[in-house]
Amino acid sequence: MTSFPYIHRDISWLSFNYRVLQEAKDVSVPLIERLKFLAIYSNNLDEFFRVRVANHRNLLRVNKKTQKKLDFDPKKIMKEILKIVNEQQEEFSRIFEDEITPELRRHNIHLLRRLDLNEEERDFVENYFFDNLLPFVQPVLLVKKKIRPFLNNAALYLTVWLKEKDDPQPKDRYAIIKIPSDHLPRFVNLPNKNGQHHIIMLDDIVRHSVKWLFPGYNIIDTFSIKLTRDAELYIDDEFSGDLIEKIKKSLGKRNVGPASRFVYDRTMPGELLQFLKDSFDLGKYDLFPEGRNHNNFDFFKFPDFGYQHLKNNPLPPLPYLPLEEAENFWASIREKDHLVHVPYHSYESVVLFFEKAARDPKVTHIKIVQYRVAKQSRIMAALMDAVKAGKQVSVFIEVKARFDEEANLVWGERLEAAGVNVNYSFPGVKVHSKLALIRREEEGGAKLYAYLSTGNFHEVTAKIYSDLGIFTADERLTKESARVFSFLETVKMPQQSFEHLLVGQFNLRDGLEECIDKEISNAKKGKKAACILKMNSLQDQRMIQKLYEASQAGVKIQLIVRGICSLVPGIKGVSENIEVISIVDRFLEHARIFLFHNEGHETIYLSSADWMVRNLSYRIETIFPIYDKEIRQTIKDILRIQLEDNVKARIIDKHNQNNYKKDNIDLAVRSQIETYYYIKRKQEVDIEPIGLEE
């Protein structure tokens, strides 16, 4: 067990997911967007159980001697997870049923159940069932220890409690029916009149139609269930064998893995639940009561009926004119570094970086790291066009990107077929750098251009993920970026050092610790010492201990952590100089920014890396410094706006209460909206910098 204040990563993650649920109950959030936050919460939780809880279940199976080697008690953590999730699920149901559903009705949107239907709607539902559902439903009578169908991962099922009609002393019988939401829309529009929109869920159409599937039985009741399965691939990290083949084989097993969560309608009778436990070999750690319906990530597809007032006001991405309208794209980058901040800026300049390179006869090489990529990608199309134009194109594909493994393998095959030189994952290490490099023949010799980012090369997520990226021709950065690619392409550790970049497996962890140590040294000398650190997750125990050490020396530390935060701030004698906030809003905070005061000569880094063990010890990550004076000021302004957020910022503390941050400022500061208009103003006029406190 840890000897210093520390919150287990999975308990902290559940606290983060609750912040997502808070958005669903926030009445200031437009109604359709609240439904989307229910979907995000549910999707997050499903993945959590398929990966993290599955891991805990495996730990519970190992012998106690092995468990004692862990720095936590897996049984205790598992119990705490179950308790927290059950409480959150009850709140989820209350938010949906008592708050959102009545609000939908006030806007003439009625989500009906089968008993609410009038005669016309019943006729519609029955016709819909016979015309559309009948080929897909799979009714099966269960017989304990004899008939036990395989439950597909994350598929929806209806359990049916019934009795034989002609039996004078009928016994309870049970059956299951698959709800074909993988083939048909989950929400079905009913005949509407007088501006009233009536909707029914596919689940309720099946409930209404059960009587036709079991004609010899009386239907007593129906209850929904869902089983999610362990999604870990469990690929050994040995340095031999064909890693790609191992991944391909493991992907086929993902949907048939052991149970990680069995969710059921909490109103289900105990006898039926026990029957299902026996039938499907479920244990106490598998069972999770939910509301009447599952797979609530389908709320992403809830119809909006064109009601724009029930959705977020649009914030159309702002064109980055210095590049998008540049007479000479490359000359603009040679002249100065450029910062784009998506989704506030358009992603067009990033796409143009590759499309212009593909068409430019002076470009000889294009290199890129692919971690997650859109299904339809102009960037990938540009790379294939570049090969046709005679350029050398090299793509490193990380096929171990969880839940994108298959998509990345498909892209790899397409790129190879087009003539792209493709390199794949290393055993034991993930490549998570967000990096691209272009070589161009110019007067005086070849010139390198780089794009370094905190986010993936993904045109779709660039519309909802908040990320920062720089275009640069600064040789301090481009030459070292080239060294990263040399390592990735030669699959061997180069005997060279990095002076400017911090790179995972080389100098990343040591470089970060050195920055903190400088602040500690300055604080001990009575000098001002401070750092502002923004990241997705903070879990690495060594880094947390280093931050505690800094706090105890008098370093003022401000953390902006979206997700996991295992550090406990505000503890006297340990972390009283550390403050932590988390911002959850319409865009996903994804940028990592590290600012160290450095005796007034701030060191500012952007990064692909969070401060987790996996990022700092088992990944190729890239942390890059910001040298351009104007960009440095912009980043400082963005940090200040986030630190002043008093609308969407939550306070992170040892109690995991997620209280909203309040201050004495009368003006509401919602950082994502403020950032959008800050960038818009900056684009129109040269505004005065906000600056950081001295």
**Could you give the residue numbers annotated as active site?**
432
Among all chains, which residue has been given the structure tokens 């519970």?
Answer: 60
Among all chains, which residue has been given the structure tokens 């040399």?
Answer: 486
Cβ-contact 509, 617 below 8 angstroms? yes
For the purposes of burial, counting CB atoms within 10 Å of the CB of 174, is it exposed (0-12), middle (13-18) or buried (19 or more)? buried
Spatial separation of the C-alpha atoms in residues 509 and 217, rounded to whole Å: 66
Contacts of 385 (CB under 8 A, 6+ apart): 355, 358, 359
Strands 465-472 and 445-453: antiparallel
Nearest to 15 by CA among 679, 476, 682, 565: 565
The SS3 assignment for 616 reads: helix
What is the rounded radius of gyration, in angstroms, for the C-alpha atoms of the chain? 28
Spatial separation of the C-alpha atoms in residues 499 and 302, rounded to whole Å: 51
Spatial separation of the C-alpha atoms in residues 652 and 658, rounded to whole Å: 6
The 10 Å Cβ neighbour count of residue 525 is 9
Spatial separation of the C-alpha atoms in residues 545 and 522, rounded to whole Å: 18
Cβ-contact 148, 265 below 8 angstroms? no
The 10 Å Cβ neighbour count of residue 59 is 16
Beta strands (DSSP E) in 44-116 are 109-112
Question: DSSP states of 556-613 as a string?
Answer: EEEEEESS-B------TTTTTTEEEEEE-SSSEE--EEEEE-GGGS-EEEEES--BSH
Spatial separation of the C-alpha atoms in residues 663 and 643, rounded to whole Å: 11
DSSP letter assigned to residue 538: B
DSSP letter assigned to residue 52: I
The SS3 assignment for 409 reads: helix
Contacts of 88 (CB under 8 A, 6+ apart): 14, 17, 18, 21
Contacts of 631 (CB under 8 A, 6+ apart): 337, 338, 339, 470
Distance of CA 69 to the CA centre of its chain: 30
Among all chains, which residue has been given the structure tokens 């105990």?
Answer: 270
Spatial separation of the C-alpha atoms in residues 393 and 421, rounded to whole Å: 6
Distance of CA 163 to the CA centre of its chain: 45
